[in-house]
C-alpha cells in the first residue's frame, strides 16, 4: 500500500512539473522591442525644411511584435509604420517634422504602443535646431477685420541672415484683391538679420468689391535668392464682414387672416460699420405681392432700420408667394431681396 502510494505521488509530481515547465516555456515566448536609434538629431536646419527619418524597430523576442499605434506629438506626422515585425526582423516607423512653424531647438516625438509585455510603451524623437535664414517683422502674418468693399493696407519687413546680398525674386498672391508691393529699405532696421544685409518693406493691400465675405485664410508666397530658405510664406488672416445685416432673411406668415396679430411682421436692417454706422440709409421698400404693404422707418439705433410688412384687408384668400425689395445706399449690395410667403384665410 505504501509502495503504491509512493509511485502515485511520484507520477503526480512528474505530471505537475511537466505542466509547469510547459507553462513557463509558453510564458517566455514573447516579443521584445528594441529601438536601434531612438533619437535622431538633425543639428541646425533651415526654417521651413521638412525633416524625414526612418526609425528602425527590431524584434529581439521569439514572438511577433505588434505596433498597435504610433501617436505623434504636435508638429510631427507619422508617414507610416510596420504593424507586425517577425522575430529577429527589423521594422520601421517613418516620422516627418515640418519646421515651418518652429524656431530654435525642437524635440518632436512619436509614442509607440506595442504588445511587448516588458515594454508596452516606447518613444522615438527627432531633435533639431531650426534657424530662420529668412524672417519677417513684426510677425509672419497680416490680420484684417474689415467690411466688404473697404480697402486696407498693412506692412511688414522681410530680412535675411544669409551672407549673399538678399533679394526678392517673385511675389505670388492667391487672389486678385490681395496685392503686395515691396521696396528695399534705404535704412535697414537694427537687430534684424545679418548686419548690412538688404531688408524689404512689403505692403499688403487687401479688399475691394471683389473680396469674398467670410474668414480670411490666404497665403502669399515670396520667392527669394536665399540658399537655405528660398521660399517664404506670409499668411493673410482675419475676416471680411458684410456691410449690413438683415434679420430675418425670409418671412413666412404661415396661415393668417388680415386682422390677426401675426399679419404684421418686421425686417430689421443694421449697418455693420462700427466707425460710422449712420452712413447707412434704407431708402424705400417695395413688394410685388398684391395685398401686402411694406413701410420703412429708422429705429433709435444709428444705422438701423425696420421694414414693417402688413397683410392688407384687401388680401385675397389663398397662397401668397413673392418678395420684398429693400433699397439702400450701400455700394456693395444696394438692393436686398427678401422672400415672403403666406396662406391667407378667408
Number of domains present in the structure of the chain: 3
Task: Give SS3 for 306.
Answer: strand
- Residue 20: pLDDT band by 50, 70, 90 thresholds? very low
Asked whether residue 24 carries a pLDDT value surpassing 70, the answer given is: no
pTM of the model: 0.71
Domain boundary at 241, 258, 293, which? 241
Task: Tell me: do 225 and 147 sit in the same domain.
Answer: yes
Determine, yes or no, domain membership for 222. Answer: yes
Domain boundary at 111, 131, 151, which? 131
Task: Tell me: do 140 and 232 sit in the same domain.
Answer: yes
Structural domain for 277, as ranges: 244-344
Task: Tell me: do 139 and 235 sit in the same domain.
Answer: yes
Determine, yes or no, domain membership for 214. Answer: yes
Gap between the Cα atoms of 303 and 284, Å rounded: 14
Q: Return all residues near 226 (Cβ < 8 A) that are at least 6 apart.
A: 133, 134, 160, 162, 166, 232
Gap between the Cα atoms of 238 and 240, Å rounded: 7
Task: Tell me: do 252 and 334 sit in the same domain.
Answer: yes
* DSSP per-residue string spanning 69-95: EEEE-TTEEEEEE-SEE-TT-EEEEEE
Query: Is the Cβ–Cβ distance between 236 and 248 less than 8 Å?
Result: no
Gap between the Cα atoms of 222 and 98, Å rounded: 18
Nearest to 311 by CA among 284, 293, 325, 296: 293
Asked whether residue 15 carries a pLDDT value surpassing 90, the answer given is: no
Gap between the Cα atoms of 231 and 218, Å rounded: 16
Q: What is the CB neighbour count within 10 angstroms for residue 79? A: 14
Task: Tell me: do 79 and 103 sit in the same domain.
Answer: yes
Q: What is the CB neighbour count within 10 angstroms for residue 74? A: 7
Per-residue model confidence as pLDDT tens digits over 138-162: 999 999 999 999 999 999 999 999 9
Determine, yes or no, domain membership for 109. Answer: yes
Determine, yes or no, domain membership for 22. Answer: no
Query: Is the Cβ–Cβ distance between 243 and 148 less than 8 Å?
Result: yes
Task: Tell me: do 37 and 127 sit in the same domain.
Answer: yes
What CATH number is given to the structural domain containing 306? Answer: 2.60.40.10
The grid cell for 85 is: 515585425
Task: Tell me: do 181 and 237 sit in the same domain.
Answer: yes
Nearest to 152 by CA among 175, 182, 185, 179: 179
Please give the average per-residue pLDDT across 329-337, as a whole number. 95
Asked whether residue 17 carries a pLDDT value surpassing 70, the answer given is: no
Per-residue model confidence as pLDDT tens digits over 96-125: 999 988 989 999 999 999 999 998 999 999
What CATH number is given to the structural domain containing 144? Answer: 2.60.40.1510
Determine, yes or no, domain membership for 10. Answer: no
Task: Tell me: do 167 and 185 sit in the same domain.
Answer: yes
Determine, yes or no, domain membership for 62. Answer: yes
Task: Tell me: do 151 and 228 sit in the same domain.
Answer: yes
The grid cell for 68 is: 498597435
Task: Tell me: do 237 and 257 sit in the same domain.
Answer: no
Task: Tell me: do 46 and 66 sit in the same domain.
Answer: yes
The pairing of strands 178-184 and 134-137 is unpaired
Domain boundary at 74, 98, 131, which? 131
Task: Tell me: do 221 and 273 sit in the same domain.
Answer: no
Query: Is the Cβ–Cβ distance between 299 and 277 less than 8 Å?
Result: no
Gap between the Cα atoms of 142 and 230, Å rounded: 21
- Residue 4: pLDDT band by 50, 70, 90 thresholds? low
Determine, yes or no, domain membership for 325. Answer: yes
Mean pLDDT rounded to a whole number for the chain: 91
Determine, yes or no, domain membership for 149. Answer: yes
Amino acid at each position: 500500500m505504501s509502495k503504491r502510494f509512493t509511485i502515485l505521488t511520484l507520477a503526480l509530481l512528474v505530471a505537475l512539473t511537466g505542466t509547469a515547465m510547459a507553462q513557463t516555456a509558453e510564458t517566455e515566448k514573447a516579443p521584445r522591442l528594441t529601438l536601434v536609434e531612438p533619437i535622431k538629431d538633425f543639428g541646425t536646419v533651415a526654417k521651413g525644411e521638412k525633416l524625414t527619418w526612418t526609425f528602425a524597430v527590431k524584434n529581439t523576442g521569439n514572438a511577433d511584435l505588434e505596433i498597435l499605434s504610433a501617436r505623434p506629438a504636435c508638429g510631427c506626422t507619422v508617414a507610416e509604420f510596420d504593424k507586425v515585425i517577425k522575430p529577429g526582423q527589423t521594422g520601421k516607423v517613418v516620422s516627418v517634422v515640418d519646421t515651418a512653424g518652429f524656431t530654435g531647438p525642437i524635440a518632436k516625438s512619436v509614442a509607440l504602443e506595442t504588445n511587448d509585455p516588458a515594454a508596452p510603451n516606447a518613444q522615438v524623437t527627432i531633435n533639431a535646431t531650426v534657424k530662420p535664414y529668412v524672417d519677417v517683422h513684426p510677425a509672419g502674418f497680416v490680420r484684417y477685420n474689415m467690411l466688404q468693399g473697404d480697402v486696407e493696407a498693412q506692412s511688414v519687413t522681410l530680412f535675411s541672415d544669409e551672407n549673399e546680398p538678399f533679394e526678392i525674386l517673385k511675389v505670388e498672391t492667391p487672389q486678385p484683391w490681395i496685392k503686395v508691393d515691396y521696396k528695399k529699405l534705404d535704412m535697414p532696421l537694427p537687430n534684424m538679420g545679418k548686419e548690412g544685409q538688404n531688408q524689404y518693406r512689403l505692403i499688403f493691400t487687401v479688399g475691394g468689391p471683389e473680396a469674398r465675405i467670410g474668414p480670411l485664410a490666404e497665403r502669399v508666397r515670396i520667392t527669394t535668392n536665399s540658399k537655405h530658405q528660398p521660399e517664404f510664406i506670409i499668411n493673410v488672416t482675419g475676416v471680411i464682414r458684410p456691410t449690413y445685416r438683415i434679420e430675418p432673411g425670409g418671412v413666412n406668415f404661415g396661415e393668417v387672416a388680415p386682422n390677426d396679430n401675426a399679419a404684421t411682421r418686421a425686417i430689421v436692417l443694421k449697418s455693420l460699420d462700427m466707425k460710422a454706422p449712420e452712413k447707412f440709409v434704407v431708402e424705400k421698400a417695395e413688394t410685388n405681392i398684391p395685398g401686402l404693404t411694406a413701410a420703412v422707418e429708422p429705429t433709435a439705433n444709428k444705422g438701423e432700420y425696420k421694414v414693417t410688412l402688413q397683410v392688407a384687408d384687401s388680401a385675397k384668400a389663398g397662397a401668397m408667394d413673392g418678395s420684398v425689395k429693400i433699397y439702400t445706399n450701400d455700394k456693395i449690395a444696394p438692393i436686398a431681396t427678401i422672400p415672403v410667403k403666406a396662406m391667407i384665410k378667408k
